[in-house]
Amino acid sequence: MTLRTRVVLIVAALVVAGIAIASYVAYSSTERQLVESTDDFLETRAAELLDGRRQPPQNDGNSKGDQPSDGGRLDADPDALSQTLNRDGGVTASSGDELPVESIDVEIATGANGNNGMIRNIELDDEPYRMITEPDRGGGAIQVARDTSATDDVLAGLRLQLVAFGAILAVVAAGSGWLLMRRTTQPLEDLTAATERVATDRDLTPLRLDRSDEVGRLAASFDRMLGALALSRDQQHRLVQDAAHELRTPLTSLRTNIELLDRARNLPDDELDAVLAALTAEVHELGQLFDELIQLSSDTGQQRSLDVEVDLADVVRDAADRFTRRTGREVTIDVEPTPILGNPALLERAVGNLLGNAHKFSPPDQPIEVSLHDRRVSVRDHGPGIPAAERARVFDRFHRSTEARSQPGSGLGLAIVAQIAELHGGVASADENPGGGANVGFTVA
């Protein structure tokens, strides 16, 4: 069962329940008012007969229990039937058909129930009546009955009207609920269709629903998710294309050198050493490229662990020490305590990539200078520097300036730095030092 159907059924059930309760209250109130009106009439008529304001039925002298003769009757009352009882509960006179006398009526006539009257429903000739039996102060009792068939007809008509009105309202409510839920759930159906479209066709087109309610906010969130997926897909596609482009050069060189070795098996030692050295360098470059590609693709998954309390100064020192041990290059450090929340492994990788980049361009007899101030890590080299036109692009994947193409590397090191900086709420930047060389670094939040 769909959500729309369930909601429509719930709304219809609630409306029916509400109508049923309202109808019951309205019917009960009307019935009570009609009964009270009849009872008021009977009490008033009985009081009039007992007080002499209205002539009661007269006895013609017949004995107790005998049917009064025609001479002992009054003209029929168009509003009610009346009947008198003697002290023993026997009928002494009646204005019409004789009303039923039961034990409770006898007790009222004899005074056995404490002179309390009683009103109840009776039937005469299969017609409904409402009857009151009131004790007479002089002994005996008076009975007054009124036909309630008109009241029953009114109540029957009211029942029919309430049922018909309730059924109409239930149908209208169900229809309105269906239309409302169709309008409300249409964006949800669009979201469902969009997810199915993403799963089957890889179509990441945003929904762009112009709504300000909860569904609109959900659609906006879904659009942001689709945008992020589209961006990620484009980046992956571009990464694959760039990686394929970068792999072609070392692979072509490897193939050329291997073919050279295959064709010229008796190369002089110096030429053979040169070929093997080239092969070794190209294999090393391929290995470095693969490592950086793996790092670049796995960094996103490490965003979940950016909540470690760490001093960025310690991270910089560890990265510099490890770099010095590996390369023997002199690194000078000028850092200040900088406690942050982050991922120590990622931050150390970023600093290591900056040191490796500076190592390629800085003269071997010049130290690499590392500083950490105001939450910014800066690595300065003493190389040729970065042309102004290239500074905005050095952090792009696989970008290598004209000056850098003669240097080993894949063009991913600084892209990884930019990505790690972004994960930590900062940015990467490159500047020119006044004394020469480049100043490349990143900030953290």
Q: Where are the alpha helices (DSSP H) in 53-204?
A: 103-110, 149-201
Least confident of 173-187, 313-327, 333-347, 418-432: 173-187
User: Would the pLDDT of 63 be above 50?
Assistant: no
User: Would the pLDDT of 298 be above 70?
Assistant: no
> What is the per-residue pLDDT for 64?
41
Tokens of 423: 């994960």
**pLDDT tens for each residue of 18-62:** 888 998 999 999 999 999 999 999 999 999 888 888 777 765 544
User: Would the pLDDT of 14 be above 90?
Assistant: no
> What is the per-residue pLDDT for 74?
47
CB atoms within 10 A of CB 77: 17
**pLDDT tens for each residue of 67-88:** 443 434 444 567 889 999 999 8
> What is the per-residue pLDDT for 35?
92
- The neighbouring-strand residues paired with 341 are 309
Contact indicator for 372, 444 with CB cutoff of 8 Å: no
User: How many angstroms separate the CA atoms of 5 and 174, rounded?
Assistant: 10
Indicate left, alpha or beta for 169 from its phi (over 0: left) and psi (-120 to 50: alpha).
Answer: alpha
Contact indicator for 421, 354 with CB cutoff of 8 Å: no
For 409, counting Cβ atoms within 10 Å of its Cβ (0-12 exposed, 13-18 middle, 19+ buried), the class is: middle
> What is the per-residue pLDDT for 261?
76
Contact indicator for 86, 141 with CB cutoff of 8 Å: no
- C-alpha neighbours within 13 Å on the C-beta side of residue 386: 24
> What is the per-residue pLDDT for 16?
85
How far is the first Cα of the chain from the last one, in angstroms, to the nearest whole number? 50
3-state class of 407 per DSSP?
Answer: coil
User: How many angstroms separate the CA atoms of 98 and 260, rounded?
Assistant: 136
What does the pLDDT average to over 194-223?
Answer: 77
Beta strands, E only, 15-166: 81-85, 91-94, 118-124, 127-135, 141-147
Least confident of 117-131, 184-198, 302-316: 184-198
> What is the per-residue pLDDT for 398?
60
- The neighbouring-strand residues paired with 377 are 372, 442
CB atoms within 10 A of CB 420: 26
**pLDDT tens for each residue of 255-270:** 887 887 777 777 787 8
> What is the per-residue pLDDT for 216?
77
> What is the per-residue pLDDT for 65?
41
3-state class of 267 per DSSP?
Answer: coil
Question: Of residues 18 and 211, which shows the higher confidence score?
Answer: 18
Query: What is the rounded average pLDDT for all residues in the chain?
Result: 81
Question: Of residues 42 and 210, which shows the higher confidence score?
Answer: 42
User: Would the pLDDT of 359 be above 70?
Assistant: yes
Amino acid at 259: E
User: How many angstroms separate the CA atoms of 351 and 323, rounded?
Assistant: 10
What does the pLDDT average to over 343-369?
Answer: 89
- C-alpha neighbours within 13 Å on the C-beta side of residue 115: 4
User: Would the pLDDT of 372 be above 50?
Assistant: yes
Length of the chain (residues)? 445
> What is the per-residue pLDDT for 305?
67
Determine the Cα angle at 106 with ends 101 and 111, to 5°.
Answer: 150
Full DSSP string of 197-246? HHHHH-----------SHHHHHHHHHHHHHHHHHHHHHHHHHHHHHHHHH
Amino acid at 415: A
